[in-house]
């Protein structure tokens, strides 16, 4: 449109009135006003199976199947929560533009948080596509970021948000796993985002982006990391009652359920929370939780669901009963395999609201679907990324003697440092740099994806995380991975944690002479990794757990008093010694 200013004719254009192609070109220019992402869509990624040539995501006529997306619960306009970020899948029908090819466009985005989350995928044919962009804040400041996104056909299944079983082509449908990813980059804490400039990166497609809110009103009290996607049950019209042990308490509670690694949605019909009296018996009548005001929720594949805040007093260091009804048949589920805790499954029916244990006739020792319990208030959380020693293997069943539990008790009994929640993200059998479970499909191995691949989900996205402790590596050196590989992985973990503003601590690897795989060569690799942890300065502090438990007379083995009997895992006494050796001041950022 034309307007006259002091004798000059000025031509202006409203981006809302421009064609999508023109809007993209305008938004990519430095002076363009930022606009919502959906006004910039310039590529079509999704086609109907009846018209497989109706989209061209990668430039060669291949596209995502709308039917596969629907089967996964990814329907047009659906808001998906992944890694704590709420991202809206494009509200577009198949064959219509539904994503942006990143070319420096200015996108209107708002909010305060710890990270900017992108729902994205690459189509360059390479492993990753990468580029730099910038974030503008309401106070006039700006920061840069680098976004690296895996390829939609070759990227790691271990880090995907969802994988689909087919792709559509001009010649019809073919079997190939199409992957979509959620990738986050750090934001400046406390500043309100005004807009984001996308990278200029050929082959980088963005479907959605949002600020992941950092909510100081919550502290993580309990957590468990999904370690695989094994067969369960089968469960149909059953209620699961999980026993979980809190670290810190608070006057409010919310629950987190994750459908990690899944190919299909899972429906939770109802859910309750109660303090445990004994076994599956509640101390008082279980209190129902809601999900966006509803009694239940349907969690898409790869997504998560948070319950609404509930006024419920959560005691510190107490067992809770979290019960949820599964009305639909379930034969596989994301689980944390080694709970070292008895939980329960009911006879048919919704028994979540019952305080009695009568309906809960089956015992299990793993935690499906539930991944977090948050409490209102508090100073935040310490997250422990570990393997079976952290997971509590060989500790006493139902006794909560894992070393992070003992550490949580120490924090609660003092006043010198904040009383952080402690979140145990140990997975038995886990490794630093290699996946035991590939991250997709039904798993027979429940030792999880690598620490590198699960870091974003299991540490950086945890509620109010302030400090992380990394205690991994023994499984790598036992299985003949080199010290250099372990060191490279630990260095990357430290760097990625520091980039998010976390205080990063590392614990040295324990001696294990006498266990079958703990050969002299393995011990040499272990010693090399420990020397690097102590001397390299990559972490903010070192917890020298090796020195705590080793036998001075034979440093390659554990002191008999601390040994559970298998020479690899400490028993209750050894785990308490690890927790007791932690300088609590080292946890404070």
| Residue 179, token pair as written in the block | 């992957």
**Model pTM score:** 0.94
Q: Which of 277, 284, 289 is nearest to 324 (CA)?
A: 289
Q: For residues 276 and 274, give the distance between their C-alpha atoms in angstroms, rounded to a whole number.
A: 6
Is 471 exposed, middle or buried, given 0-12, 13-18 or 19+ CB atoms closer than 10 A? Answer: buried
Q: Which CATH class is domain 379-589?
A: alpha beta
Domain ranges of the chain: 36-212, 232-368, 379-589
Q: Which of 151, 161, 212 is nearest to 182 (CA)?
A: 161
Cα–Cα distance between 549 and 279 in angstroms, integer?
A: 34
Residue with tokens 């709420």: 86
Cis geometry, peptide bond prior to residue 234 (ω within 30 degrees of 0): yes
539 backbone dihedrals φ, ψ, rounded to 5°: -105, 160
pLDDT of residue 31: 54
Contact present, 494 and 538 (Cβ < 8 Å): yes
- The series of mean pLDDT values per 10 residues for the chain, 589 residues long, is 32 35 48 91 98 97 98 98 97 98 98 96 92 98 97 97 97 96 96 98 97 91 98 97 98 98 98 98 98 98 98 98 98 98 98 98 98 97 98 98 98 97 98 97 97 98 97 98 98 97 98 98 98 98 98 98 98 98 98
In this predicted structure, what is the pLDDT of residue 126? 77
- Measured CA to CA, the distance from residue 263 to residue 239 in angstroms comes to 22
Q: Which tokens is 332 given?
A: 């596989």
């Amino acid at each position: 449109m034309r307007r006259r200013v002091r004798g000059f004719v000025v031509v202006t254009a409203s981006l809302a009135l421009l064609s999508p192609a023109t809007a993209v070109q305008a938004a990519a220019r430095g002076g363009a006003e930022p606009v919502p992402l959906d006004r910039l869509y310039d590529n079509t990624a999704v086609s109907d199976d009846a018209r497989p040539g109706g989209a061209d995501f990668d430039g060669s006529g291949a596209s995502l199947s709308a039917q596969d997306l629907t089967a996964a619960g990814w329907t047009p306009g659906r808001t998906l929560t992944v890694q704590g970020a709420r991202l809206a899948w494009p509200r577009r029908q198949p064959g219509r533009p539904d994503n942006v090819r990143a070319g420096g466009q200015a996108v209107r985005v708002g909010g305060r948080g710890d990270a900017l989350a992108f729902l994205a995928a690459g189509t360059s044919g390479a492993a990753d596509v990468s580029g730099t962009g910038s974030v503008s804040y309401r106070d006039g400041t700006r920061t840069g970021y680098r976004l690296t996104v895996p390829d939609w056909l070759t990227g790691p299944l271990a880090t995907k948000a969802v994988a689909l079983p087919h792709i559509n082509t001009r010649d019809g449908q073919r079997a190939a796993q199409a992957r979509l990813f959620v990738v986050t980059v750090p934001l400046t804490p406390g500043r309100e985002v005004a807009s984001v400039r996308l990278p200029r990166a050929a082959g980088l497609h963005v479907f959605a982006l949002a600020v992941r809110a950092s909510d100081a009103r919550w502290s993580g009290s309990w957590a468990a990391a999904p370690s695989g996607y094994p067969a369960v049950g089968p469960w149909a019209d059953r209620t699961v009652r999980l026993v979980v042990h809190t670290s810190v308490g608070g006057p409010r509670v919310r629950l987190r359920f994750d459908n990690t690694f899944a190919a299909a949605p899972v429906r939770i019909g109802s859910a309750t929370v109660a303090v445990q009296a004994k076994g599956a018996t509640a101390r008082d009548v279980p209190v129902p939780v809601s999900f966006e005001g509803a009694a239940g929720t349907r969690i898409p594949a790869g997504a998560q669901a948070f319950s609404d805040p509930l006024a419920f007093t959560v005691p510190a260091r107490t067992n809770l009963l979290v019960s949820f009804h599964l009305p639909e048949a379930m034969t596989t589920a994301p689980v944390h395999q080694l709970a070292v805790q008895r939980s329960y499954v009911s006879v048919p029916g919704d028994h979540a609201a019952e305080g009695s244990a009568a309906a809960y006739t089956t015992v299990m020792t793993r935690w499906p679907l539930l991944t977090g319990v948050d409490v209102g208030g508090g100073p935040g959380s310490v997250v422990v990324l570990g393997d079976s020693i952290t997971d509590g293997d060989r500790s006493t069943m139902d006794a909560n003697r894992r070393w992070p539990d003992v550490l949580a008790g120490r924090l609660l009994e003092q006043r010198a440092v904040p009383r952080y929640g402690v979140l145990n993200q140990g997975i038995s059998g886990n490794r630093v740099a290699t996946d035991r479970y590939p991250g997709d499909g039904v798993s027979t191995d429940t030792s999880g994806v690598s620490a590198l691949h699960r870091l974003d989900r299991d540490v950086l996205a945890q509620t109010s995380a302030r400090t992380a402790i990394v205690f991994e590596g023994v499984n790598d050196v036992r299985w003949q991975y080199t010290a250099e590989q372990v060191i490279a992985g630990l260095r990357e973990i430290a760097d990625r944690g520091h980039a998010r503003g976390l205080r990063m601590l590392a614990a040295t690897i324990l001696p294990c002479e006498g266990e079958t795989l703990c050969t002299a060569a393995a011990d040499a690799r272990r010693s090399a990794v420990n020397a690097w942890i102590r001397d390299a300065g990559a972490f903010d502090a070192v917890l020298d757990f090796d020195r705590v438990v080793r036998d001075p007379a034979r440093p390659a083995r554990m002191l008999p008093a601390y040994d559970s009997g298998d020479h690899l895992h400490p028993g209750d006494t050894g785990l308490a010694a690890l927790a007791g050796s932690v300088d609590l001041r080292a946890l404070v950022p």
